[in-house]
Amino acid sequence: MFAPYRYLIMNTNLLLKNIAKHIDLTTEEQELFISMITVQSCKSRTILLHATEICKHSYFVNSGILRSFTINDNIVEHVLNFACEGYWIGDMYSLLSQKPGNLFIEVIEEAELLLLSKENQEILYEKIPKFERFFRILTENSLVANQERLLDNLSLSAEERFEKFCSKHPQLVNKVPQKQIASYIGVTPEFFSKMKSKMLHR
Amino acid sequence: MFAPYRYLIMNTNLLLKNIAKHIDLTTEEQELFISMITVQSCKSRTILLHATEICKHSYFVNSGILRSFTINDNIVEHVLNFACEGYWIGDMYSLLSQKPGNLFIEVIEEAELLLLSKENQEILYEKIPKFERFFRILTENSLVANQERLLDNLSLSAEERFEKFCSKHPQLVNKVPQKQIASYIGVTPEFFSKMKSKMLHR
DNA sequence: AAAGCTACTTAACCTAGATTAAGAAATAAT
DNA sequence: ATTATTTCTTAATCTAGGTTAAGTAGCTTT
């Protein structure tokens, strides 16, 4: 009588709007695509992927904030990426190779996610080749951002990297624990704290 | 009577072999693709792209070695990438946006290059959509490599980064000026020299 | 509301890597 | 062959950022 719960609450507006920026889908194609997506609501601190696991999904963030990170020698965390509303996150290495990666994916702020499984992504490429283009463009943009961040890490001071982070990700600055921002820009939480107060007193 | 010089010497074996790893092309498709490619032979130290220019081509390396790099405050160079036989190089930001980037591309070792122009790449996507897939996969692999390098820069010591560079790029270690390797792994040439001799005396 | 975590701050001290400078070795240019 | 440039080395000195440690503030959980 009723569609399953997940169809009732699944909001694909944001995702479809994002897709429409790069490719045009017919109504049928949209429906096919949506049938391949599932929703998941997650509380803060949920670990969606362990470093030892094989990544099976790409996660699109409808709301909330996630991060991906590694852990060194079982102690130090290094944040690779944050993802907030409208962004995708995953462990691309593990997703592509279907081997265990070394990234964790964690929910920072209660989130609603749309999941696209590896298998469905492959099916999608076969059935609607336009998605090759869509994910090509998405990946190109990620690569450009990553290269810039890499060069920033090689050439800017910690202060400059933090300022850049603030202007690029204003939505995150006050929502993400500051030690994670420290990790993202590549300094220890102690140094970050010192640096921040130094910047304030100027 | 004779085909233009560049067709006589253009060797597309390596490129076609690389493409065949990811997509299947018919003979006609191969020919169309090849008709969109041009060759260029360059001496060492040729600058193929200035930071102020708009990048118009993707460069496939048939032989030789190239690098891409930025220059900070008109003084310090930072190497983003090396490319040797079988690899592509370009300024992806500039190529995609068709705005001036801030990368230089330089020939390190006399090279033979195959050039795919931005326009031809777009035509290729229209005429042979399989190329969407090919470049998607290529870009995905670059992104994975870049993410790993980013995390390495955040978590490893200079020595560890150098060791990783040696095992990942043995073809480059003895062909690329050592100050450029220093730049790639993110240290000064002076420190690199010191570090290297320290590693030897152990 | 007390107890227990986790996040943030501050401060003293430490070190990997930067800077400066000068000479030696290797390449390139004449 | 000689000269000029660029690359590499060595060494002294310096500093951005790390480490250790202890205290404080802010959350959760009960």
The DSSP code sequence of A90-140 is: --HHHHHH-S--S-EEEEEEEEEEEEEEHHHHHHHHHH-THHHHHHHHHHH
- A33 to chain B, closest Cα gap in Å: 18
Over residues B12-26, the pLDDT tens digits come to 999 999 999 999 999
Nucleotide in closest CA–C1' contact with B196: D9
pLDDT at residue A10, rounded to an integer: 85
Over residues B130-174, the pLDDT tens digits come to 999 999 999 999 999 999 999 999 999 999 999 999 999 999 999
CB contact under 8 A, B129 and A132: yes
Q: Which of residues 163-192 of B touch strand C (CB under 7 A)?
A: 186-188, 190-191
Measured in whole angstroms, the distance separating CA A19 from the mean position of its chain's CA atoms is: 16
The whole-number Å distance from A157's CA to D16's C1' is: 8
pLDDT at residue A9, rounded to an integer: 66
Contacts of A150 in chain B (CB under 8 A): 80, 146, 149-150, 153
pLDDT at residue B1, rounded to an integer: 45
Output the tens digit of pLDDT for each of chain A's 202 residues: 444 444 456 899 999 999 999 999 999 999 999 999 999 999 999 999 999 999 999 999 999 999 999 998 778 999 999 999 999 999 999 999 999 999 999 999 999 999 999 999 999 999 999 999 999 999 999 999 999 999 999 999 999 999 999 999 999 999 999 999 999 999 999 999 999 999 998 7
Cβ(B130)–Cβ(B138) under 8 Å? no
Indicate the average pLDDT of chain B: 95
Give strand C nucleotides closer than 7 A to any protein Cβ.
Answer: 7-12, 16-21, 28
Candidate from A72, A144, A150 with C-beta closest to B93: A144
* CA B137/CA A124 separation, integer angstroms: 15
Candidate from A78, A151, A155 with C-beta closest to B151: A78
Candidate from A80, A96, A155 with C-beta closest to B151: A80
Q: Which residue of B has its CA nearest to A140?
A: B139
Instruction: Collapse the DSSP code of B158 into the 3-class scheme (helix H, G, I; strand E, B; otherwise coil) and give the result.
Output: helix
pLDDT at residue B74, rounded to an integer: 75
Nucleotide in closest CA–C1' contact with B191: C17
CB pairs under 8 A between A and B: 88
CB contact under 8 A, B80 and A151: yes
CATH fit for domain B5-129, picks 3.40.50.300, 3.40.190.90, 2.60.120.10, 1.20.1250.20: 2.60.120.10
- Structure-token pair, residue A188: 């220890």
pLDDT at residue B9, rounded to an integer: 66
pLDDT at residue B73, rounded to an integer: 80
pLDDT at residue B39, rounded to an integer: 96
pLDDT at residue A6, rounded to an integer: 45
Q: Which of residues 129-168 of B touch strand C (CB under 7 A)?
A: 157-159
Output the tens digit of pLDDT for each of chain B's 202 residues: 454 444 456 899 999 999 999 999 999 999 999 999 999 999 999 999 999 999 999 999 999 999 999 998 878 999 999 999 999 999 999 999 999 999 999 999 999 999 999 999 999 999 999 999 999 999 999 999 999 999 999 999 999 999 999 999 999 999 999 999 999 999 999 999 999 999 998 7
Cα–Cα distance list, A139 to A54, A63, A143, B85 (Å): 20, 21, 6, 24
Nearest protein residue to the C1' atom of C27, measured from CA: B177
pLDDT at residue B93, rounded to an integer: 98
End-to-end Cα separation, chain B, in angstroms: 65
Q: Map out the domains of chain B as residue ranges.
A: 5-129
* CA B81/CA A114 separation, integer angstroms: 34
Give strand D nucleotides closer than 7 A to any protein Cβ.
Answer: 7-12, 16-21, 28
* CA A83/CA A166 separation, integer angstroms: 15
Length of chain A: 202
Instruction: Collapse the DSSP code of B115 into the 3-class scheme (helix H, G, I; strand E, B; otherwise coil) and give the result.
Output: strand
pLDDT at residue A95, rounded to an integer: 98
